[in-house]
Structure 1
């Protein structure tokens, strides 16, 4: 038990496909199986300054190319969409993967231009998230669902087929503000942290535990995940130099200044030590975002061969 949340003991590892990722999907699937990664993840944006393939279509290919690896979105910008077509995509992917899909969702906001392009006010993203999430959870379970709120109005609707699992796929939410953590405590099965130090990550879990208790929710299991930027190199300085060339492009936030504190950089032992700090704070599912787009595949191989053995 960490922060009064049942997070378990085992440490799992996955990786997220990158922006401008030139590694073929089959190669990434083969790498995940060969090096025993537990999960493969895709990010989601509609309008970004670099090529980015639709997340659900990527995951459908990963589902076909793998057998026992979890697949998920980290994270899907739910407030940009209507809940019914989203729920249809979720149930389809959960069926195709035979119950291996994890729906990770967040409010986004890093690229304001995509909100303008989709004609949705960016300042509504939190409220839309809170409105859409319970509708999606009901729809994917095959329950008759009606939209009668401020943002979504639709008659009673039942989606068939429902998800592969009767309870629907696990829902992991991103976010770190108080309202986001309260939303996680009320509606989610897990948390995907991002750009948090180990101490900050542990504090976030504490908030979720407290909020869950206050709303009378008890978890049988809670998935504590974190999207962790990774760069293995000969030194911390060399790792940071490569990392800062690959982080924060086009975003309405400063990620370069935060990279030193929140990423796992340096030699294999340095990376393992940083991850162990997160583990002691409660992290149980590490989602790696490799930095340095020229050698993403090599970074994932090095992590599996040189870092993971140090974490046993």
Structure 2
């Protein structure tokens, strides 16, 4: 079982501190034995840009895997992004994992496309082709021809640490996303609100992989989960409600209908996470529900203690 955490790159979390303290947070996460450090991506809220954050963390860590969760390729030019990702992979000694997403409907989707001057329509096909282009560039392909991107001559590009490039995971749990994950991606990073939905989705991913001639174990089963460990379930819910309102503009009661949450005392959080691992999750990435960096560090220590207890 791998357990990782998200770096609190949102401005609300580090505004009262020096943002360079995030480097210390990364170091402490590795010292505490976490397997990975992930970063969010958005243009709709002030935050440290994810690839910049990972480039800063790479030389001050040695073991911990560095990930995006989820990178939104639509925000970037694909050739330059392939170069940036290969560079981070090199600087980290091959520790990069790139989880990607196509954006979401409503206030978290279309505005990103408008800001990036990319059509909202056919965004999933565009995402898949962008990842295929990255892989072509990393492999040294001389040309690429697709529906959205066509290059008669690709430049000689920086090669990533591994010849095949960093693993690319997909976030999403719609039937189409599950099928695409099994066919084309190296991992799955959803956040379904119920463990039963995770188990059903994972079986669909593995079925799609087998039908595409891939071994089912080729897809890493990961989980994006919001975590708050407190003295009581009520305290945890109040703190997480403040977090979701600041992060999404939505109360916890609305957000937990679409995302995975593990809230409450250490035993309650462990029990919830155990239900997801029983459903098949093997790499859990926790987003800590805390608005201040000091509280983030406190939650990090509580989760580290829970991890050390091996109670799930």
Please give the TM-score of this superposition, normalised by the length of structure 1.
0.89
Corresponding position of 1:5? none
Q: How far apart are 1:249 and its partner, in Å? A: 5.0
User: Which stretch shows the higher mean deviation, 268-277 or 192-201?
Assistant: 192-201
**Of 233, 257, 273, the match for 2:254:** 257
Corresponding position of 2:47? 52
Q: How far apart are 1:95 and its partner, in Å? A: 0.9
Confirm or deny that 1:165 pairs with 2:154. no
Structure 1: gaps of 5 or more residues = 1-10
Q: How far apart are 1:111 and its partner, in Å? A: 4.3
Corresponding position of 1:64? 59
Are the counterparts in 2 of residues 88 and 159 from structure 1 also a CA contact under 8 Å? no
Are the counterparts in 1 of residues 206 and 219 from structure 2 also a CA contact under 8 Å? no
Confirm or deny that 1:35 pairs with 2:25. no
Name the CA distance, whole Å, in 1 between partners of 2:217 and 2:141.
Answer: 23
Corresponding position of 2:116? 118
Q: Deviations over 1:199-245 (max 9, x none)?
A: 11111101101111222222454311111100111111221111111
Secondary structure of the structure 2 residue equivalent to 1:51: coil
Corresponding position of 1:202? 199
Secondary structure of the structure 2 residue equivalent to 1:161: coil
Distance 1:123 1:130, change over 3 A: same
Q: How far apart are 1:288 and its partner, in Å? A: 0.7
Which structure would you say has the larger RCO, counting Cα contacts within 8 Å and 6 or more residues apart? 1
Q: How far apart are 1:254 and its partner, in Å? A: 7.6
Secondary structure of the structure 1 residue equivalent to 2:165: coil
| Aligned 1:5-16 pairs, distance under 5 A | 11-16=1-6
Are the counterparts in 1 of residues 3 and 34 from structure 2 also a CA contact under 8 Å? yes
Structure 2: gaps of 5 or more residues = none
| Aligned 1:96-107 pairs, distance under 5 A | 96-107=91-102
Confirm or deny that 1:87 pairs with 2:82. yes
Corresponding position of 1:17? 7
Q: Deviations over 1:99-134 (max 9, x none)?
A: 111111111132432221111222332121122121
Q: How many residues align?
A: 299
User: Which stretch shows the higher mean deviation, 288-297 or 255-264?
Assistant: 255-264
Corresponding position of 1:4? none
Are the counterparts in 1 of residues 241 and 251 from structure 2 also a CA contact under 8 Å? no
Q: How far apart are 1:160 and its partner, in Å? A: 2.8
Name the CA distance, whole Å, in 2 between partners of 1:164 and 1:158.
Answer: 18
Secondary structure of the structure 1 residue equivalent to 2:309: helix
User: Which stretch shows the higher mean deviation, 224-233 or 106-115?
Assistant: 106-115
Are the counterparts in 2 of residues 111 and 250 from structure 1 also a CA contact under 8 Å? no
Corresponding position of 2:230? 233
Distance 1:43 1:250, change over 3 A: closer
